[in-house]
Structure 1
Amino acid sequence: MRKIGILGGMAPESTVEYYRIITTLCRQRGMGHRYPVIIIYSLNFHEFISLVESGNLPEVTNLICDAINSLSEAGADFALVASNTPHIVFNEVAARSPIPLLSIVDETGRVAKNLGFTRVGLFGTKFTMQADFYSNALSTKYGISVVTPQKADQDYIHHKIMTELVDGCIIEETRQELSRIARMMADKRGIQALILGCTELPLILSEEVVGIPLLDTTRIHAEAALNFSQSSSSSV
């Protein structure tokens, strides 16, 4: 199997989930304890988010590229950036990467298309919701429209991610309000499913609570990593 490189720490809670999902899938597939080699590089979250908040995307790119280079030097055959927000510079990073990178956006788009969705909502940090990397990729490659929440709801979602979820803090009131926003988008704006475009969101939201299909980007990305580690294909 190919060695998996995970660039994590953005934030740590979801990095743990990537490792757990990959190893659990191995057992579910009858692989026993034959897990792939997994190399994790955990970024300084404060440094990363400070650069994003300041709009210094060239330095965000440099920070992530340096980490990917470290994963490559440690022996990773390919890598994934275990967070949605850094995909704002994914194309720039991929162009400089010495190893193949799995895009969380492309993997989510493939799953959404295979499930027959043509109009999906997007929750995430404000950087993810207000950027166009999801809408451009899903529209161009998969014919899927992406709908984001209203501005006030975006502010609420971002605040709860940054002050609760990145620290593993799960509050029932937050769960219910996030679910209400999602259901409203389904009822009034016609979304068929919701992209959990922050890898901490699956920690608090489930289809049973929200009541509409959810595209769990953490699970989708982690499963794609395991699949590619077992594949003989040379392209991601």
Structure 2
Amino acid sequence: MKTIGLIGGLGPESTVDYYRSLINTHRALDPKGDPPSIIINSVNMEYVLRCLEGKRLQDLAEFFVVELQKLANAGADFALITANTPHIVFDDVERRSPLPLISIVEATADRAQQSGFEHVGLIGTRFTMQATFYPVVFARKEMQIHVPKESEQEYIHERYFSELVKGVFRDETRRGLAEIIARMRDRNGIQAAILGGTELPLILRGGEAAGVPLLDTTQIHVGAALARLIG
């Protein structure tokens, strides 16, 4: 069986969720099979954030190429970057990566297209909501991405790093996120919302918010990895 490599630590809570989801989903798909072989490289999230804040995208891409080489050296056959925001440099990293990569954005776009969605909301870090990597990929599949208003983006970003990344999940924040999704539904006519930060599925559970289906990027990414592994 091939070995899955994970670039983790972006942040720790979602890395644990990836590991648990890979094991549990594989068990559901193949109850009698051996569990998947997984190697995790937990990287420096603070360095990643400094690169993003300073718009040092070349440095960020180089960082991930080096960290992926460590996974390759350890025996991984392909890899996932277990966060949405680093996909801002995915194309550059993929060209230089020593391992085949599975894009969380491409996998999510495939799922949205299969579901028949045309207008899709996106919430995540400010870096993700203000970048073009989601809109570009979705536009290729004739879907439109909608993001929250600037004040709503600031609310999400602040709660993301002051609470979610630290493993703090408050009901007040859960309600606030659901209210933003509801306003996007009313304002933009979104048919689904992308949880474009891998900590978000840890607070928005149940598959929908304000009656809007949620696209859990962690589970979608895990599913794509296991399809590669088993297929």
Give the TM bin, normalised by the shorter chain.
over 0.9
The equivalent of 2:12 in structure 1 is: 12
Q: SS of the residue aligned with 2:98?
A: coil
Give the residue type in structure 1 aligned to 2:192.
A
C-alpha displacement of 1:210: 3.5
Cα distance between partner residues in 2 of 1:153 and 1:46: 24
Q: SS of the residue aligned with 2:113?
A: helix
The equivalent of 1:69 in structure 2 is: 69
Give the TM-score taking structure 1 as reference length.
Answer: 0.95
The equivalent of 1:234 in structure 2 is: none
The equivalent of 2:49 in structure 1 is: 49
C-alpha displacement of 1:208: 4.8
Bigger mean CA offset, 222-231 vs 122-131: 222-231
C-alpha displacement of 1:153: 0.2
Cα distance between partner residues in 2 of 1:189 and 1:209: 15
Q: SS of the residue aligned with 1:117?
A: coil
C-alpha displacement of 1:211: 2.2
5 Å matches for 1:155-166? 155-166=154-165
Unpaired segments ≥5 residues, structure 2: none
Cα distance between partner residues in 2 of 1:46 and 1:208: 31
| Alpha carbons 2:120, 2:146 under 8 Å: kept | yes
C-alpha displacement of 1:45: 1.1
Q: Indicate yes or no: 2:88 matched with 1:95.
A: no
Cα distance between partner residues in 2 of 1:99 and 1:159: 34
Cα distance between partner residues in 2 of 1:161 and 1:209: 17
Q: SS of the residue aligned with 1:199?
A: coil
Cα distance between partner residues in 1 of 2:31 and 2:22: 11
Moved over 4 A (4+): none
Q: SS of the residue aligned with 1:195?
A: strand
| Alpha carbons 1:107, 1:224 under 8 Å: kept | yes
C-alpha displacement of 1:33: 5.8
User: What CA RMSD, in Å, does the superposition of the two structures yield over aligned residues?
Assistant: 1.0
Q: SS of the residue aligned with 2:220?
A: helix
- Identity percentage of aligned residues: 46
Q: SS of the residue aligned with 1:213?
A: strand
Cα distance between partner residues in 1 of 2:82 and 2:12: 10
The equivalent of 1:152 in structure 2 is: 151
The alignment of Structure 1 onto Structure 2 pairs a total of residues equal to 230
C-alpha displacement of 1:195: 0.3
Deviations 1:149-174 (A, max 9, x none): 00000000000001100011001100
C-alpha displacement of 1:209: 4.4
The equivalent of 2:212 in structure 1 is: 212
Give the TM-score taking structure 2 as reference length.
Answer: 0.97
Cα distance between partner residues in 2 of 1:32 and 1:151: 49
Cα distance between partner residues in 1 of 2:97 and 2:155: 35
Q: Indicate yes or no: 2:195 matched with 1:186.
A: no
5 Å matches for 1:12-51? 12-32=12-32, 34-51=34-51
| Alpha carbons 2:208, 2:214 under 8 Å: kept | no
